[in-house]
Structure formats: C-alpha cells, structure tokens
Amino acid sequence: MQNEKELLKSLIDILSDLRLGLKNFHAGIEHLEEGIEKLETELFNKTIFVEEKEEKEKIEEKKEKLKVEEKVISVKKEEEKPKIEQIAKAEPTNIYRPLSERAKNIPESLYKDVTTEKIREIVIGEGKKSLKIGEENCLPFYLFDGHMGNGVKIAMEILDVKPEDWPESLTKYFSDVFHDPALWAKKCVEVYSAEAICLYLQGTDPNYLNLDAEHAKQVVKKVTDSVDVPVIIWGSGNSEKDVEIIKEVAELIGGKGIAIGPILESNYRTLAAVAMGYNLPVIASSPIDVNLAKQLNILLENMGLPLDKIIMDPSIGALGYGIEYAYSVMERIRIAALYYNDTTLQSPFVCTVGREVWATKEAQLPTDDIFGEQETRGVLMEAITAVVLSLAGGDLLIMRHPKAIELCQSFFDLLMAN
C-alpha cells in the first residue's frame, strides 16, 4: 500500500513538472508570435515607405521635365512667329512649273516625241467670226511636244422643233425660245456666248415628224440670218431623207461655208457632189472603227472632195455608254495620223456630246437621295464626257447645257495656259 502511494506521488510530480513545462512552452510560442508580428510590421512598413518615397521622387522628376519642355516649346513658338507672319504676308506664287523647267537636267529625247505631221485645219463659216478647228501637231494638250493649233472649240446645239424629251433641268434655260429656232440660236450667242451653232433637223426624221424640205429651208434661213457665228446643219441621220433635205438646204445657203452632215457610206456620192458644188465642209460619220472612218474619207476623196473639207464624226458614246471604246478608237486614229503619216486620217474630230449624254436614263432621272440632284448630275455627265473626248482628240464639241459648257471652257483654258 505504501508503495502505491509513493508511486502515485511520483507520477503526480512528473505531471506537475510537465504541466509547468507546457505552460512555459506556450508562453514561449506566444512570445515568438509577437516577435514575428513586430518584425513583419517593421519590415513591411519600411518597404512601403521606401516605395512611396521613390514613386514620389519619380513624379517630381517628370513634372520638372514637363516644365522644361513647355518652356522650350513656348520659346520656339515665339521664335517662329515672325517667320509665320512673314509667310502669311507673302504674295502667293504660281506653283506650276513647265515640264521643260522640271526636266531641264533630262535629255529631251527621253520625254519628247515630236512629229512632222499635223491635223488639217478646217474652216466653218466665213469672215472674222469663222470657226477654225484642227491644225494641232501633237497629241491632245501635249504642249511639250508641239502646239494645239486652234484648241478645242464648242458649238451649242439647237433643234428645228420643240424638244419633247428634255428634262426640266435643261429646258428651263431655253423654254422661252423653243417656239422659234432663230430666237433660240440668238440666245445661245448673245446670252451664252456660243462661238458656233449646230442646228439638228430632228423634225425631218421619217420616224418622228417627217417634216419636208420646205420646213428645213425656212428654219435654216431664219437661223442663219439671226446669228453672225458659223452654223452646222445636221440632218436626221436617215440616209435617204438627208439627201433630199440637204440638197435643198445647200442650194439655199450657197457658199457661206456652212458645214453639212452627216455624210454616210450609203449617201456619200450625192452629198459629196453637193458639198463640192457649193464648196462646203462636210461631216463624215462612220461607226466607231478606225478602218471604217478611213474608208469613208478615202471614198469622199475619190469622189473629188478635198480632205481639207472633211470633219470626222467617229460616233461617240456618253459617259458610261461606251466612252472607253470611243476614246481608244479616237486615240488610235490620232496616233496613226500624227506618228504613222496616215494622211487620210489627218482630219479633225467633231463629237455630238449633248445629244448622247442627255439621251441617257441617268441624265433623265429626277432628283432623289441615291442619284442626287438632277441638274448637277446631268451637267457633270456632259462635262466629263466632253473632257474625256477632248483628251482623245476631239476638236469640236457640240454641247447643250450652258453650265457644262462653262465648266469645260474653264478646264480647256487652264490646260492651254500651262
């Protein structure tokens, strides 16, 4: 019994010592944790402080740099002010420089292609106001190769009857004179400064009104008496009817130098004889083809009509209606005439721009959100067509709208000035 008590006492002492050790261990752990927390706080606070300090220093440096740059810019602006004011006060100069000046260090043989040939000069009308076309010895507006002769001329067209299919954007300029072709022609000359008049005898077309030769003679006489500029008489395009009409008209106008046409392969014999009888220039019309144009000129020459009385009508198309093909054929004819010495093709071109353009649906469509304003659309179509054909070699353009004519004339004057 005694031994058991001693054993229990010993066990209790051991457990007491163990409990005391555990208490000390727990206190040590708590102390260790407190130390770690203090250490972490101290270290991280210092790091954050250092980073914030460095960031602030960088921001201050950037601010100083910006201030310096702003000062430099302001100084430059102050220095450049007199220069800018001087440039603004300076008179404008012509920025265009002729090719000869721009290429003065390049041998002329590398960019010039001079020809000894030239397009014949054709005279329409007589006296001081006669219209001369052709005589250029270079491709259109290649002024560095040669000269443009008489330049590009524009004739305004009128009809022998009141037009029924012209849009309002066009008729508003002439509706007050539609009833009288003579007044119409007079307005074109006096108001719109037309240098020539082309009278289309549309009413004589058998497929339209089929008016007779007496009607044509009366209209032609009134028109030629009312204006002092050259006149072109253009038949209906019907081969047989044009022979009948133009014979009567030629007898009426006599030797006034009025151009007549169109002469086709189907009626060239009779109309060539009429032209020779009254010494009149003619318009030789052929489908848009180099060989057909040349063939008709040869046929007329074989009849005895001089080549210096022939104006070629290559049967052009409007913008969007085969103008690319017309351009390429006209260009080939002009190159053959000037650079391959083809004398039968050395005749000036006449282009019926107005009639072709205003017959298109785009020129007729009313104003809408898709196609835009009708008049602007029609004017631009006619002007662009005329400019393109002049660049292909067109010498005489027959046009309708006064604004389109004004645009083209400004463009041609600009090209000829340079």
Protein fold of 110-417: TIM Barrel (3.20.20)
335-362: b or e for each residue (b if 16 or more CB lie within 10 Å)?
bbbbeeebebbbbbbbbbbbbbbbebeb
What values do phi and psi take at 16, rounded to 5?
A: -60, -45
Cα 212 to chain centroid distance, Å, stands at: 42
CA distance 118 to 133: 12
CA angle 50, 56, 57 (to 5 degrees): 90
Contact of 248 with 266, CB cutoff 8 Å: no
Strand duo 121-124 + 131-134: pairing: antiparallel
Contact of 356 with 371, CB cutoff 8 Å: no
| Predicted pLDDT of residue 44 | 53
Strand partners, 260: 233, 282
Quick one: tokens of 388? 């393109």
Q: How many CB atoms lie within 10 A of CB 38?
A: 10
Strand partners, 312: 284, 349
Contact of 288 with 260, CB cutoff 8 Å: no
Q: How many CB atoms lie within 10 A of CB 301?
A: 16
CA distance 387 to 353: 10
CA distance 264 to 282: 11
CA angle 220, 225, 229 (to 5 degrees): 95
The closest alpha carbon to 235, from 223, 256, 220, belongs to 220
* pLDDT digit string (tens) for the chain, length 418 residues: 556 666 566 666 666 666 666 566 566 666 666 666 665 565 555 444 555 556 666 677 766 766 666 665 665 556 555 655 555 555 555 566 776 677 778 887 777 889 999 999 999 999 899 999 999 999 999 998 999 999 999 999 999 999 999 999 999 999 999 999 999 999 999 999 999 999 999 999 999 999 999 999 999 999 999 999 999 999 999 999 999 999 999 999 887 899 999 999 999 999 999 999 999 999 999 999 999 999 999 999 999 999 999 999 999 999 999 999 999 999 999 999 999 999 999 999 999 999 999 999 999 999 998 889 999 999 999 999 999 999 999 999 999 999 999 999 999 999 988 6
Q: What element of type H or E holds 186?
A: helix 181-190
Strands (E), 221-281: 231-234, 259-263
Q: Is 316 helix (H, G, I), strand (E, B) or coil?
A: coil
CA distance 152 to 411: 11
The closest alpha carbon to 262, from 244, 239, 279, belongs to 239
The DSSP string of 5-44 is HHHHHHHHHHHHHHHHHHHHHHHHHHHHHHHHHHHHHHHH
Distances (CA, A) of 324 to 212, 221, 317, 327, 352: 37, 38, 9, 5, 16
Contact of 352 with 385, CB cutoff 8 Å: no
CA distance 397 to 118: 20
Per DSSP, the chain holds a count of helices (H) and strands (E) of: 13, 10
The conformational region for residue 139 under phi > 0 = left, psi -120 to 50 = alpha, else beta, is beta
Contact of 368 with 386, CB cutoff 8 Å: no
Strand duo 131-134 + 310-313: pairing: unpaired
Distances (CA, A) of 67 to 53, 59, 81: 21, 12, 21
